[in-house]
Structure 1
Amino acid sequence: MATATTTDFTPSPAPAIAVKSKEALMDAVEDIVYGSIAGVAGKYIEYPFDTVKVRLQSQPDTLPLLYHGPLDCFKQSIRSDGLYSLYRGISAPLVGAALETSSLFFWERVGRELLFTSNLYSRSQPLPLSALWLTGAISGAFTSLVLTPVELVKCKIQVPAGSTVAPRPLSVIREVYRHQGLRGFWHGQLGTLIRETGGCAAWFGSKETVTLLFRRWNSSSPSSPSSPGLQTNLNHNPQNLPTTSSPDLAPLPLWQQALAGASAGMSYNFLFFPADTIKSRMQTVAADSTAPQVKFWQEGKAIFRAYGLKGLYRGCGITVARSVPSSALIFVVFDALKGGLQFS
């Protein structure tokens, strides 16, 4: 006699997993596309200031200073070559800006997923500020590998060694590869790694910190409407930072989003500026130079001996100033494209 068998009709979790995987993939694609658009928009604002910054940073120690400050550098550059000279070599940085910003947002999301999958934090609760500073550092460390070759080409175009004629990106790439091989494109990588790891921790962390302060201010202000979900979230977990992607949080007004983004840019550029100064000095040396390549710490010591701490922060003021509108625009554009912005 045949025995009857029972069939388990418990639904398989496979469809749910597939849906989550598809959503994660779409979020990653959005981060890359929207980050690229935001990065290009920000680059057009900041590039002239970046050119001045690199020219101030790369002045040799053995000669009298060519520029006496940012305004003098602006005037001399425009007087000698016109306004176009401040946009010299922007084609490579535009590509770099798209790669950089998309990479930053992509790897920051990967960092969050790592914290969730490692069971350090629950997806049902917003990540605390310390975790968001950590995901920013993770994002910067990975992005530095993409940035170093792009910035090396950019610096050599902005400050052509031994010539007043700006080389084209392809000619710079050929020159570096001919004399230094593939490894030469990562000359100055340590400086980029230090700047991006610490700077991006501050970039994302400062933005989210200011965002949290605005959310708390909005929730406590009788004239500022806030969603019930926001008030419940903040009261339940006051040390945690709600993310702008949380579905139960109202988007910030435009001016608050811009201020949060501006604070991110200032923090990023000021805190680790000496690493950027050293990197720029290393990357503006001619590719065919017969002199042995100077190591990161050796270059830093040489600048400090010649000019002190002031030399390591040469060009910092204009860099921080340029980061205010560019970083604000990057976050505003990115959040607007992601649907997390309130135009009021």
Structure 2
Amino acid sequence: MSAEKPPLPFVYTFMAGAIAGVSEILVMYPLDVVKTRVQLQTGKGTGADQYNGMLDCFRKIVKNEGFSRLYRGITAPILMEAPKRATKFAANDKWGKFYRDLFGQAKMNQSLSVLTGASAGATEAFVVVPFELVKIRLQDKASAGKYNGMIDVVVKTVKSEGLLAMYNGLESTLWRHILWNAGYFGCIFQVRELIPKAETKKGQTINDIIAGTIGGTVGTIVNTPMDVVKSRIQNSPKVPGQVPKYNWAWPAVATVAKEEGFGALYKGFLPKVLRLGPGGGILLVVYTGVMDFFRQMRDGENA
């Protein structure tokens, strides 16, 4: 991550990103389930299928479906997290080097951090789309009896909608990841520049928590509208002869805003920001710690 530290081979970056991603999802996954449920809700009302906010959603899921439902669909994200987070950090490192060389910069700056993050997000999006589609369809209560698990979602989706349906929502996912990663990595760079340099390992961990949490929060503020429409696009099965209501990202944003109001574009924001704010801190702390561990191993071998 830091330009001042010697680079490590790609395999180390990949492994560190994977470990960081799985650590984050094991802690924060229930918030993702709640976020998806709220985002898929298109109306207002009462009853077990309608939620008046994050806490109401938590309460109704646990009461009506059982606590384990908060972890429904976690297999797909866990399988996704390793390549997803590994790709995020590895691509960020690779794109960072590419842009530094391209623009003749010895070190990262704010503009390059935003550009690098956006490029890493676009790269990451191609990896995660099929996993995201499976996760969204398993998390939706309306499909609880339709699928028996991750493999069943894949088989039924491919059979009824075709193989390319696994990449439904690619465009909106690209926008979501470009915006989040640009905000995340751009803020990490800026915060690290503004706060005092750490003199101890504990101080470095605190700085990483602060930088990662602020980065995750800003990224979430920027990309939530795209996350809302992505969830709806991926949860809309393709029917021959019919044009889906939610198909392309920006027209879907306009449709949601027109029919439900601008605030609907931020449905699920609270559980999302509570996950990705602190989650961004967890990611950065674990990633930095694992990379430092790998550096120590390498230095020990070379001693």
Do the structures match in fold with TM over 0.5?
yes
CA shift, 1:67, in A, is 0.7
CA shift, 1:185, in A, is 1.1
CA shift, 1:165, in A, is 6.2
Moved more, 194-203 or 290-299: 290-299
State the partner residue of 1:232: none
State the partner residue of 1:50: 32
The amino acid across from 1:281 in the alignment is: R
CA shift, 1:168, in A, is 0.3
State the partner residue of 1:5: none
Alpha carbons of structure 1 residues 96 and 193: separation in structure 2 relative to 1, 3 Å: same
TM-score (norm 2): 0.86
State the partner residue of 1:236: none
2:159 aligned with 1:169: no
The within-5 A match list for 1:263-278 is 263-278=214-229
Q: Deviations over 1:187-232 (max 9, x none)?
A: 1111111111121011111112111112xx34xxxxx759xxxxxx
CA distance in 1, matches of 2:279, 2:174: 21
3-state SS, counterpart of residue 253 of structure 1: helix
Q: Deviations over 1:120-146 (max 9, x none)?
A: 124xx3221111111111100111111
CA shift, 1:287, in A, is 5.7
CA distance in 2, matches of 1:325, 1:273: 16
State the partner residue of 2:68: 84
Q: Deviations over 1:148-171 (max 9, x none)?
A: 111111000000545456530000
The amino acid across from 1:339 in the alignment is: D
- Of 26, 31, 34 in structure 1, the residue corresponding to residue 16 of structure 2 is 34
CA distance in 2, matches of 1:92, 1:225: 40
Q: Deviations over 1:31-80 (max 9, x none)?
A: 10010000000011221000000000001349777111111100000001
2:209 aligned with 1:258: yes
CA distance in 1, matches of 2:98, 2:60: 49
Alignment size in residue pairs: 285
Alpha carbons of structure 1 residues 306 and 35: separation in structure 2 relative to 1, 3 Å: same
Moved more, 132-141 or 153-162: 153-162
2:298 aligned with 1:314: no
The within-5 A match list for 1:231-246 is none
The within-5 A match list for 1:159-308 is 159-164=140-145, 167-214=148-195, 217-218=196-197, 225=199, 252-286=203-237, 291-294=242-245, 295-296=247-248, 297-308=250-261
* Higher Rg: 1
Identity within the alignment, %: 27
Alpha carbons of structure 1 residues 291 and 73: separation in structure 2 relative to 1, 3 Å: farther
- Of 52, 56, 62 in structure 2, the residue corresponding to residue 72 of structure 1 is 56
Report if the CA contact (8 A) 1:108-1:138 is conserved.
yes
CA distance in 2, matches of 1:151, 1:199: 16
CA distance in 1, matches of 2:145, 2:291: 43
CA shift, 1:289, in A, is 8.1
CA distance in 2, matches of 1:303, 1:57: 11
State the partner residue of 1:112: 96
CA distance in 2, matches of 1:68, 1:47: 20
- Could you tell me which runs of 5 or more consecutive residues in structure 2 were left unpaired when the two chains were aligned: 1-5, 294-303
- Of 94, 102, 105 in structure 1, the residue corresponding to residue 86 of structure 2 is 102
Report if the CA contact (8 A) 1:53-1:318 is conserved.
yes
CA shift, 1:306, in A, is 2.1
TM-score (norm 1): 0.76
CA distance in 2, matches of 1:76, 1:109: 42
State the partner residue of 2:280: 327
CA shift, 1:264, in A, is 1.4
- Could you tell me which runs of 5 or more consecutive residues in structure 1 were left unpaired when the two chains were aligned: 1-22, 219-223, 227-249
Report if the CA contact (8 A) 1:188-1:283 is conserved.
yes
State the partner residue of 2:298: none
Measured on the aligned residues, the alpha-carbon RMSD in Å equals: 2.5
CA distance in 1, matches of 2:165, 2:12: 33
CA distance in 1, matches of 2:73, 2:240: 22
